[in-house]
Amino acid sequence: MTGSTRRGTHLAIAALLACAAATVVPGPSRVHAAGCPWSDAGMPPEQRAHLLVAAMSIDQKVTITTQQEYLWQHYGVAGYIPGDPGICVPDLVLNDAGQGVGDMSINTTAFPAPIAQAASWDPALQQRFGDMLGWEAWHKGINVQLAPAIEVDRVPMNGRNFEYLSEDPYLAGQGAAALTRGLQGQHVIATLKHYIANSQETNRMSDSSDVDERTLHEIYLPPYDAAIQQGHAGAVMCSYNKVDTVYACENPTTLEHDLKNELGFTGFVMSDWNGTHSTAPAANAGLDMEMGVTPGFYYGAKLKAAVEAGQVAASRLDDMVFRIVLSMFEVGLFDHPLPPQPGAYAGNVDTPEAAKVALDVAEQGTVLLKNSGSVLPLLGGGKRIAVIGYSAGPAGAEATYNGGGSSHIPEFANKPVTNPLQSMEQVALANGDVVVYADGTSVADAIAAASAADVAVVFAYDQESEGTDRSGLTLQGSACAFVVCVPTPVNQDQLISTVAQANRNTVVVLTTGGPVLMPWVDQVKGVVEAWYPGQQQGDAIAAVLFGLVNPSAKLPETFPRSASDLPTQTPAQYPGVNLHSAYTEGLDVGYRWYDDRGIEPLFPFGHGLSYTTFGYSNLHITAAASPSGTATVSFDVTNTGARRGAEVAQLYIGAPTPNPVHEPSRQLRGFAKVTLDPGQTAHLSLPVDARAVSYWDVAAHRWAVEPGCHPALVGSSSRDLRLQGGGVDGRLIGCSVAAAGTPAVATAAQPALPNTAATMPPLIPDATAAPAAPLAAVGAVVVGARLRRRRPTRRRADAGCRPRRR
């Protein structure tokens, strides 16, 4: 969700809401199941939904499709549709999320930005975050979270990239599915957004994303597919932009055909706030719910009139309502009534347990990019450490822990943000080190501090926000539309270079929303990317710098050496010409662009260092038992260093030679995160299904297997590939790749799978390990995952439907 204007004064609105809360009188909860047979929790959700829709009047149906109150009017939430006690329908309470329970909510946890979560490459951790986010939302009286945001990062300058997960559709999809499972396990509907091809904030309300059919299916749809098939997402939010000249919220191709029919999405589609542009065209195209800053601008009474005039079929209205209530039944909204207001709004959900999740995500999402001479960790004691930079101190930390816009979590509503300076001072004191601080506003002071220190740690930041794009990839390119930006006191690139000249042991800690250029990278010994780390940022960064935590994160995005290396180089591609953005790079998004053109990035996709080392060996490929099954790529990972650590082993499937359909050179098709003690070895197995060796056949409008032998490449990043020994073909049989090393082993011969357009199964994210090698947090174990229907013991029992009515 967004909003045409930024938040205004949070405290003033909170005060008004507190006054309004005094007038809220709890009403009857719900009638017994005898009066509402669909209230029987033992009945299948589809049956319950059919019964309810059949019992609803046209007015009741129209009401549930339409925003009913102004933005933030109902206890500061983004959207509100009151329930109907007469038919046992609960309220729908919608709120922004991503970095925590947002909008005007108070006393909630500020978690790390989604890009930091994705950098963990750990779906289990992401599901844990989603679980805590859902728990907080439910206890704040919210049952629809407007998250996760899962668009593929096409344009590195996009002001909302910090809200998204990756430039790679597979990695984004696995994270989206995990977040969705976590949220919905707490009886809170997850909303996938911003559907689709929403790649920039510049002209976001009117720009047309002109993307070809194959690119749409191979790059931009897969994250949604994964979150729907593996996470069973209940809602999708369509975006502001147009797709091939048609607004995304009234585009029948992307909504009805691609999303609902092709991907099999059974939930409901809501508009972004004020993203609806018509009544009948939007409804007939597949928009099920209108959301906006003001109630019912195109739906509501206008939708009722359109149905009565025959412009929208009554069956279509029934379908809209069925989709909404089906998601409500499936996720448990009918069976788990929200806590009453105003108590929920005023309650404090920023618990120690939530803070621990925020800390774990921040630590596991911090990427060690460079560590020359093992300058990190800061071990030994007795050192003098110069900490330099505005963002290291209290004021700077509070300005840079979070991205801006609708997902922003205001710090006043939480306990104070931990700052790196204070956290480093605490650890240094225990180690016998001395910390001196210069905020960077005086270059002379920074030089003096660095010159007298054993190690200089420079903190630098940018600020990204919904509503505008970054002006560039330098540290001066912040985007400040819906957040109060703090101007950088000095040119941070120059400051880093100056400090590095004064102290050869210089480490740079970045808190940014995405990739930045590093003209000083060869002058410094260490680089750490902490993203927007949330309220526990100080403790997390200090833990990584001092080695209390061994970094294990990997880049979910490529860091370029130069702006001239970017995939979106021309004005026609970005920001667009005459309100048209041409996706002419096609499939070559992110690392695919760099690989296919032989461009060396500064730090490649999947890169991330550790304080230990890992070796790879024993690549083996096992054929699928049938053409519709999965082949298996197995290998060993060994901790060859001196301390316990976690490694993310990555599987890329390459294009065959020849490559007549022009697939990218290699694409991520699996990964697993494993924690190992020194000398310990884990045997990992990753599946490869038909989709991994398929392309979208535009002529047939279906997936088709590309013939030839597809190399299987395993390693620590997209450019650090340790094992290359054969591959898989269209029959999912191991095959030999010329000059690829030892041929892979195929255990069984299979009948040929014809190279005809055929519907392919989705990529299956699996990672298994031999029992002899205990694993911790294997990141891709979600095979056959079903939506969890837990009943958290922390919730009050209530025999009724609803605790309140406004």
- What's the token pair of residue 753? 């799978």
User: Given the DSSP bridges, would you call strands 384-388 and 455-461 parallel, antiparallel or unpaired?
Assistant: parallel
- What's the token pair of residue 587? 């499939």
14-18, 245-249, 382-386, 599-603: which range is least confident on average? 14-18
Cα(526)–Cα(253) distance, rounded to whole angstroms?
Answer: 48
- Provide the pLDDT for residue 486: 66
CA dihedral 772→773→776→778, nearest 10 degrees, is -100
List pLDDT tens digits, range 742-753.
Answer: 333 333 333 333
- Provide the pLDDT for residue 646: 99
CATH code of the domain containing 315: 3.20.20.300
Cα(540)–Cα(427) distance, rounded to whole angstroms?
Answer: 12
Say if CB 674 and CB 778 are below 8 A apart: yes
Task: Give the 3-state secondary structure of residue 340.
Answer: coil
**Which band of pLDDT confidence, cut at 50, 70 and 90, is reported for residue 33?**
low
- Provide the pLDDT for residue 777: 31
768-769 β-sheet, strand order: 614-622, 631-639, 681-688, 768-769
Per DSSP, the residues of 344-409 read HHH-----HHHHHHHHHHHHHH-EEEEEGGG--S--SS--EEEEESGGGSHHHHHHHSS-BSTT--
- Provide the pLDDT for residue 754: 31
Q: What is the mean pLDDT of the chain?
A: 87
Cα(735)–Cα(354) distance, rounded to whole angstroms?
Answer: 48
Q: Is the pLDDT of residue 356 over 90?
A: yes
Omega before residue 196 within 30° of 0, cis: yes
Of 316, 346, 376, the residue that ends a domain is 346
- Provide the pLDDT for residue 518: 98
Looking at the fold, whether 535 and 667 belong to one and the same domain comes out as no
- Provide the pLDDT for residue 749: 31
- What's the token pair of residue 569? 């180089």
Looking at the fold, whether 226 and 117 belong to one and the same domain comes out as yes
CATH code of the domain containing 683: 2.60.40.10
Cα(544)–Cα(525) distance, rounded to whole angstroms?
Answer: 16
Cα(600)–Cα(590) distance, rounded to whole angstroms?
Answer: 12
- Provide the pLDDT for residue 658: 92
Looking at the fold, whether 536 and 685 belong to one and the same domain comes out as no
Looking at the fold, whether 342 and 413 belong to one and the same domain comes out as no
Mean pLDDT score, 71-90: 92
- Provide the pLDDT for residue 484: 54
Q: Is the pLDDT of residue 593 over 50?
A: yes
- Provide the pLDDT for residue 15: 39
User: Which of 344-348, 598-602, 793-797 has maximum average pLDDT?
Assistant: 598-602
Q: Look at residue 98 and tell me if it is in a domain.
A: yes
Q: Is the pLDDT of residue 62 over 90?
A: yes
CATH code of the domain containing 492: 3.40.50.1700
Distance set, CA 691 to CA 157, 625, 759 (Å): 31, 16, 9
Mean pLDDT score, 230-240: 98
- Provide the pLDDT for residue 468: 87
Mean pLDDT score, 48-70: 96
- Provide the pLDDT for residue 785: 27
Q: Look at residue 30 and tell me if it is in a domain.
A: no
396-410, 472-486, 501-515, 526-540: which range is least confident on average? 472-486
Q: Is the pLDDT of residue 761 over 70?
A: no
Task: Give the 3-state secondary structure of residue 494.
Answer: helix
Say if CB 248 and CB 238 are below 8 A apart: yes
- What's the token pair of residue 181? 């499972």
Q: Is the pLDDT of residue 781 over 70?
A: no
- Provide the pLDDT for residue 691: 93
Mean pLDDT score, 293-322: 97
- Provide the pLDDT for residue 742: 34
**Which band of pLDDT confidence, cut at 50, 70 and 90, is reported for residue 345?**
confident
- Provide the pLDDT for residue 203: 94
Say if CB 76 and CB 82 are below 8 A apart: no
Omega before residue 410 within 30° of 0, cis: no
**Which band of pLDDT confidence, cut at 50, 70 and 90, is reported for residue 412?**
low
Q: Is the pLDDT of residue 713 over 70?
A: yes
> pLDDT higher for 191 or 407?
191
Handedness of CA 374, 376, 380, 386 (dihedral sign): positive
List pLDDT tens digits, range 438-453.
Answer: 999 999 999 999 999 9
Exposure of 374 by Cβ count < 10 A (0-12 exposed, 13-18 middle, 19+ buried)? exposed
Looking at the fold, whether 442 and 540 belong to one and the same domain comes out as yes
Looking at the fold, whether 454 and 341 belong to one and the same domain comes out as no
- Provide the pLDDT for residue 271: 98
Phi and psi torsions of 432, nearest 5°: 85, 20
Q: Is the pLDDT of residue 787 over 90?
A: no
Say if CB 166 and CB 118 are below 8 A apart: yes
Looking at the fold, whether 249 and 315 belong to one and the same domain comes out as yes
Say if CB 405 and CB 469 are below 8 A apart: no
Q: Look at residue 400 and tell me if it is in a domain.
A: yes
**Which band of pLDDT confidence, cut at 50, 70 and 90, is reported for residue 483?**
low
Q: Look at residue 274 and tell me if it is in a domain.
A: yes
Domain that holds residue 757: 612-769
Mean pLDDT score, 770-797: 30
> pLDDT higher for 796 or 2?
2
Half-sphere exposure of 727 (CA within 13 A, CB side): 24
Q: Look at residue 792 and tell me if it is in a domain.
A: no
Q: pTM value?
A: 0.88
CA dihedral 139→791→112→173, nearest 10 degrees, is -130
Looking at the fold, whether 361 and 307 belong to one and the same domain comes out as no
Mean pLDDT score, 289-309: 95
Residue with tokens 């092709």, as numbered in its chain:
262
Looking at the fold, whether 485 and 424 belong to one and the same domain comes out as yes
**Which band of pLDDT confidence, cut at 50, 70 and 90, is reported for residue 294?**
confident
Cα(273)–Cα(16) distance, rounded to whole angstroms?
Answer: 22
Q: Is the pLDDT of residue 24 over 60?
A: no
Q: Look at residue 670 and tell me if it is in a domain.
A: yes
List pLDDT tens digits, range 116-129.
Answer: 999 999 999 999 99
541 alpha carbon, distance to own chain's centre? 21
What is the H or E stretch that residue 139 is in? helix 123-139
Mean pLDDT score, 5-29: 35
The type of residue at 489 is P
pLDDT more than 90, % of the chain: 75
- Provide the pLDDT for residue 802: 30
DSSP 732: S
Mean pLDDT score, 457-483: 83
Mean pLDDT score, 581-597: 98
Q: Look at residue 782 and tell me if it is in a domain.
A: no
Say if CB 801 and CB 90 are below 8 A apart: yes
Q: Look at residue 31 and tell me if it is in a domain.
A: no
Cα(708)–Cα(729) distance, rounded to whole angstroms?
Answer: 6
Looking at the fold, whether 106 and 210 belong to one and the same domain comes out as yes
What is the H or E stretch that residue 648 is in? strand 645-654
pLDDT more than 70, % of the chain: 85
Q: Is the pLDDT of residue 29 over 60?
A: no
Say if CB 652 and CB 667 are below 8 A apart: yes
> pLDDT higher for 611 or 707?
611
Task: Give the 3-state secondary structure of residue 636.
Answer: strand
Q: Is the pLDDT of residue 42 over 80?
A: yes
Total structural domains within the chain: 3
Of 346, 378, 397, the residue that ends a domain is 346
289-303, 481-495, 592-606: which range is least confident on average? 481-495
Distance set, CA 293 to CA 1, 77, 102, 296, 779 (Å): 10, 11, 16, 9, 39
Looking at the fold, whether 422 and 551 belong to one and the same domain comes out as yes
**Which band of pLDDT confidence, cut at 50, 70 and 90, is reported for residue 673?**
very high
> pLDDT higher for 98 or 650?
650
- Provide the pLDDT for residue 235: 99
Looking at the fold, whether 335 and 367 belong to one and the same domain comes out as no
Task: Give the 3-state secondary structure of residue 478.
Answer: coil
User: What do you get for the CA distance between the two ends of the chain, in Å?
Assistant: 23
**Which band of pLDDT confidence, cut at 50, 70 and 90, is reported for residue 106?**
confident
Q: Is the pLDDT of residue 8 over 70?
A: no
Say if CB 641 and CB 677 are below 8 A apart: no
43-52, 314-323, 405-414, 573-582: which range is least confident on average? 405-414
Mean pLDDT score, 491-512: 97
> 596-618: string of b/e by CB count within 10 Å (b at 16+)?
beebebbbbbbbbbbbbbbebee
Give the active site residues.
272
**Which band of pLDDT confidence, cut at 50, 70 and 90, is reported for residue 343?**
confident
